Amino acid sequence: MNFNKKRGLFLPALLAFTILILSVGHNAALATDSETYKNLKLFNEVLNLVEKNYVEDVDPKVVIHGAINGMIKSLDPHSAFMTAEQYHDLQVDTKGAFSGLGIVITMQDDMITVVSPIEDKPAFIAGVKAGDRIIRIDGKTTKDFTIMDAVHSLRGKKGTKVTITIIREGEDNPIDFDIVRDIIEIKSVKQKTYSGDIGYIRISNFQETTADELNKAFKEINAGDVPLKGLVLDLRNNPGGLLDQSVKVSDAFLKSGAIVSSRGRTKSSKRVYEAMDDGDEPECPIVVLINGGTASAAEIVSGALRDNKRAILLGTQTFGKGSVQTIVPLKDGSALKLTIAKYYTPDGESIQARGIIPDIAVEYAKPVAADEDKLKQIREKDLKGHIKGAKEEGKDDRTDKEMKDLRKDNQLKSAIDLLRSWDIFKKI
């Protein structure tokens, strides 16, 4: 079949397809709307001109995918059309393992922007920071990239190198990072205890296994002989993830009350998620650590615990992504990620483009190097010939390790200090 014959069959099918897409969520009258038809005729006219007059033959699939990309890109930074390959990449993300740099990105001011590098992964180790704008990948400009274009370019086989060029606030010139891709296996929950009675749980993202990992973490930190005096929930640099997992995580801390609500144009997008009493929620005071890298699902948890007066938020203002996306698989293996609603905290606040303000504002302070610590105090253990204590004999060096952790992280130290003084404040 020659190209002109294909075009004759293709254009009516395209017109029907476009009308179908524009009709989703509306009544049948929309299809006869004069303005809609006028625009569809314009689209058809342009496509016809391209097919007849463009200097070379065009691939209908490429042209249509480009048109859909343009349509979706005009909506918001989080809606996207994904090819079959890009859709596969997205599905891999929620499983917790892929090969890449370990970096979370978004679209901000039409630029690929780092939300947060994942701790101890290649981008983090190389020195990439939240807020960096990626302007080139392997020398190719990202000016017209979609999020999925960038994700696909940054992914690759383990051991291969990619060069990203970023611009950073406060730096006069672009910075190049040569980063070797690695397998990014993300365990989304980590836990430990401080001095046996302060629990610490770090959630790095929300993937399919997060709620189950959290249950195991609870058991681990509650296994000690001493009841927990308090709990620190660390959601800093958590870019979000699956909505259902953020709801389950919130429910794990709450006996009752609303967790989050969503509101959109369709009936199915309007929902209220409520907590249920499972009988095993922690009873101790909770401090949640947040910062500018706390986004989306992590903001849902933060808002739910704050508004239900179950936790105090400490740190800095969150990212402010308060929209809900749904994934619609398409017949050819591609998919549409479409923003369908905004979510609201239990108090009815939308945090879209606003973020959540912490109850206690504490800016992160860069740790002071040992040789810069001019005010280091002399203690008994520093005196030559002092009598060694039990911990120095190697029986227990846990306290020293904990002190090193807290010297590196002033926000965590502030949270633990607050929990330790909780009973004192209750008496005032």
Active site residues: 296, 307, 321
DSSP state of 350: B
Tokens 């130290």 belong to residue: 413
Residues 58, 6 contacting (CB under 8 angstroms): no
DSSP string, 47-61: HHHHHHHSSS---HH
Q: Which of 356, 359, 360, 364 is nearest to 411 (CA)?
A: 364
Task: Give the type of residue at 290.
Answer: I
Tokens 């099918």 belong to residue: 13
Q: Which long-range contacts (CB under 8 A, 24 or more apart) does 421-424 make?
A: 422/229, 422/230, 422/285
Q: Any residues with CB less than 8 A from the CB of 146 and at least 6 apart, and which?
A: 69, 73, 80, 81, 107
Q: Any residues with CB less than 8 A from the CB of 33 and at least 6 apart, and which?
A: none
Alpha helices for 281-362 (secondary structure H): 297-307
Tokens 């980590």 belong to residue: 190
Q: Which of 153, 117, 120 is nearest to 138 (CA)?
A: 153
Q: Measured between alpha carbons, how far is 142 from 112 in angstroms, rounded to an integer?
A: 7
Displacement of CA 406 from its chain's centroid (Å): 25
DSSP helix/strand/coil, 375: coil
CA angle 217, 222, 223 (to 5 degrees): 100
